[in-house]
Every structure is written in C-alpha cells, then in structure tokens.
Structure 1
Amino acid sequence: MQGKMVIVTGGGSGLGRAVALALATAGASVAIVELDAAAASAVVAEIEAAGGAAFSVIGDITTRESAAALVDAAVAKAGRIDGLCNCAGVYPRKPILDISDADWDFSFSVNVRGLYDVSIAVIKHMQAAGGGRIVNVASIDALKAHPKNAHYAAMKAAVVSLTKSMALACAPDNILINGVAPAGIATEKAKAAGFLPELAAQTALGRAAEPDDVADVIVFLLSDKNRYMVGETVAISGGYFIA
C-alpha cells in the first residue's frame, strides 16, 4: 500500500479504526471520514505516533451532498484517491415485531444509502484517475438469519447485492469492488453488548474475530495484490457460517 491514499468511513472506532491502522502500517495515507471528531483525531494521532500518515474529514454521510463534500475534501487534501473502505455503519438489535419505521429509515440511511453515496463520489474520482479499489463492509447476518436484527440483516444483504452491481458497472474502469461479511468482532461496543460469548460457542474456532482478523483481509482487497477478485463478498466468520 506504499504511496496509496485510502478513505475509511467510520474510521474512528471498532473495525474502522483497525482498518485505518492496518492500512497505515502497510504504507498507505489514510483519510478518516467520521462523525465523531474526537475519535477521528485520536486515531490520526495514533497513526502519526507510529510514523504513519493520516488526516480526518468530519461530517455526515447520510445525504448525497454531504457524502460528496467529504470525499471531495479528502481528495483535495491528499491529491489522489486509490481506495475506499466503507466501514461506517450502525448495528441496531430489536425483535422483529418491534422495529419502527424510524428504525428502518435510520439503518438504511447509514448502512445502505450512505455507503452508496460515498462510493459514487469516490468512483467518479477513480474513473478520472484510471482505477482503484473499494471494499464494502457487509455482515455475516446478510447470509445467516438472526431473530433480533432483521432490519440490520436486510440492510447488509442489500450491501452484498449492491457490491455485485457496483462491481459489474465499474470493473471496465479498473475499479475493483468487493465486500467482506464478518461475524461478531470483539470491538469495545460488541463486548459491552454481551453477545460475543454466545457467538463464540457457535464458532468453529471458538472465539469472535479480533478487529485485525478482518482488517487484514480488507487491506489485501484494497491492495494491488488483489488483481482478479471482483464483486465478491468474503465471509470472515471463523467457521460460524460455512456455506
């Protein structure tokens, strides 16, 4: 990733933070697109302290105009764009009979439409530059049903489908688009939510993923070592889901 510039949405915490750190370690310059300015600043400082290069762009991805403005600002500052990891997302959990219209709208605005709007803004820059790589973060819940997050699972299934369509549209421009579908990741939020022990008990490896377990796969997909994967969504579940 030496000399590359990659945007990571939601890079201030959880998987996004791990991806940003892994990219910086691999030599990329990282633009962290975040709503939480303090969290973004902390990750930028962490990367810089380790000798890497990073900067933050603060704002909301839930409208097309704001998403495009964030991408334009990142590209203007860095002078180029080589990759995008769509990590930003929300993880609502409710019994299926309790999901409100507001729950549906909020989940869709971040997990699907926000991802799409950021991607479209990035693709326009990549077309002008001659190519790039995009990774969309879906979820194993798109492939394996769960009774307490139906709307989240539906949104992540949409991400899997959207990844395929975007990949077909953009491959002729040398833009390789793929996705990842992680199972439970041992982020601080997931640990606090308390569902990881149950998930680990159903996983062949006997544990939830560490953020780096997923981040390393994403770095590969964003790198020039990925030359021939297009439109795939890679399940990263430790054996929780085996098709």
Structure 2
Amino acid sequence: MQGQAIIVTGGGSGLGRAICLGLAAAGAEVAIIELNAESAAATVDAIKAGGGRAFSVIGDITTRESAKALVDAAVARAGRVDGLVNCAGVYPRRPILEITDADWDFSFSVNVRGLYNVSVAAIAHMQAQGGGRIVNIASIDALKAHPKNAHYAAMKAAVVSLTKSMGLACAPDNILINGVAPAGIATEKARAAGFLGELAAQTALGRAAEPEDIADVVIFLISEKNRYMVGETVAISGGYFIP
C-alpha cells in the first residue's frame, strides 16, 4: 500500500489502533479521525516509532458539517484519500426494556449517522480521483441476536444495510465498499468488561479474536488486492457464528 493515504475513524484505541498500525506497516499514510486527541496521539506516536507515517485530525463526526471538515482537512494534508475505514463506534449494553431515548440517539449518532457522514465526504473525493475503497466495521451482533445490546445490534444491522446500498451506488465509480462483522475482540475495554471468557467458550477456536485478526481482513478489503467484492459484510467470528 505504498503511496496510499487511508483515513481511519476511531483509530485511537482497540481495533482502530490495530488497523492503523497494520496499514502503516503495509506502507500507507494513515489519517486518524478521532474525538479523543490523547488516544489519537498515542497511535500516531506508535506508528512513527515503527517508521510509518500518520497524523490525526480531531473532531466530532456526528454532524454532516463537522465530518466533512475533518475529511477535507485529512485529504488536504495527505494530498488524496485512497481508502476509508469507518471504525468509530460506541458499544452500549443495556437490557432491552431499559433502553432510553438518549441511548437510542447516542448509538445512532455515532454508529450510523457518523459513519454515513464521513463516508459521504470521502466518497466525493474518491469520485474526483477515480476510485477508492471503504470498509465499514459492523458487528456479529447485527447477525446474531443478543438480549443486552438490542439498540447496538440494530445500529450495526443498519451498517450492514448501508454497506449494501452504498456499495451498489458507488461501484460504478470504482469505489468498492464492504464491511466486516467481528465477534468479540480482546481489546482492553472488552477484557475489563469481563465477557470474553463466556464468548470464547462458544467459539470453535476457543478464544476471542485479537485485534490483529480483524485488522488483517480489513487491510485486504481496503487494498487493491480486493478487486471484486461489493456491498459484502464478512463475518469474522472464529466459529462463534455460522449460519
């Protein structure tokens, strides 16, 4: 991916950081769009320590105007945008009868509207360049019901649907849009939440995914090695979910 510029939202920690590190190791310049300046700086420092190229743009993606300004700033600094990874998201857990209007609004604003806002801004640049790649991070919860995060699952199902629609709309412009739907990932936050052991017991491989397990699939989809996938969402669950 030498010479390519990739935007990653939510690249400050967890899966987003692993994706950024993997992209940089493959030769891409990484533009991190983050709300948390400190975590974004930590990822940028880690990439530079390994000899890679990265910078961050700090701001909120939940409004159309702000998301466009962030993408435009990233493209102005990098000179182009060859790919976008929509990784920014929130993971609220609450029993289905206790979900509040604020819970719904917050989850939608980041997980769906934010993803859409950044995508629209990036697609405009990709159309002008003659093509690009987008990867949306969905979740296995979009495909497998769970009683404690119904609103999150609904938002990620919306991401799967958006990936299909945007993929069809943008393929004629040589913009290939796909997604991944990971099961549990052994990030620091997930370890602290304490549910990975239960998940591992239900997984054929007997463990949760490491962030790099998911990042490697994302990197394939965002690269020019992916030449023929459009609107697909790849489930990555280690055998936790096999329909």
Which residue number corresponds to residue 177 of structure 1?
177
Task: State TM-score, norm by structure 1.
Answer: 1.00
Amino acid at match of 2:65: E
Which residue number corresponds to residue 187 of structure 2?
187
Q: Deviations over 1:20-79 (max 9, x none)?
A: 000000000000000010111111011001000000000010100000000000000010
Shift of 1:241: 0.2
Work out the number of aligned pairs and report it.
243
Amino acid at match of 1:123: I
Structure 1 unaligned regions, length at least 5:
none
Q: Distance in 1 between matches of 2:71 and 2:38?
A: 19
Moved over 2 A (4+): none
Which residue number corresponds to residue 71 of structure 1?
71
Say whether 1:209 aligns with 2:205: no
Structure 1 vs Structure 2 CA RMSD: 0.3
Q: Distance in 2 between matches of 1:220 and 1:26?
A: 11
Q: Distance in 2 between matches of 1:2 and 1:223?
A: 10
Which residue number corresponds to residue 92 of structure 1?
92
Say whether 1:234 aligns with 2:240: no
Q: Distance in 2 between matches of 1:176 and 1:222?
A: 8
Shift of 1:138: 0.2
Q: Deviations over 1:113-159 (max 9, x none)?
A: 00000000000000000000000000000000000000000000000
Shift of 1:100: 0.1
Q: Distance in 2 between matches of 1:140 and 1:86?
A: 16
Which residue number corresponds to residue 107 of structure 2?
107
Identical-pair percentage = 83
Shift of 1:232: 0.3
How do 1:1-243 and structure 2 match up within 5 A?
Answer: 1-243=1-243
Shift of 1:2: 1.0
Structure 2 unaligned regions, length at least 5:
none
Amino acid at match of 1:166: M
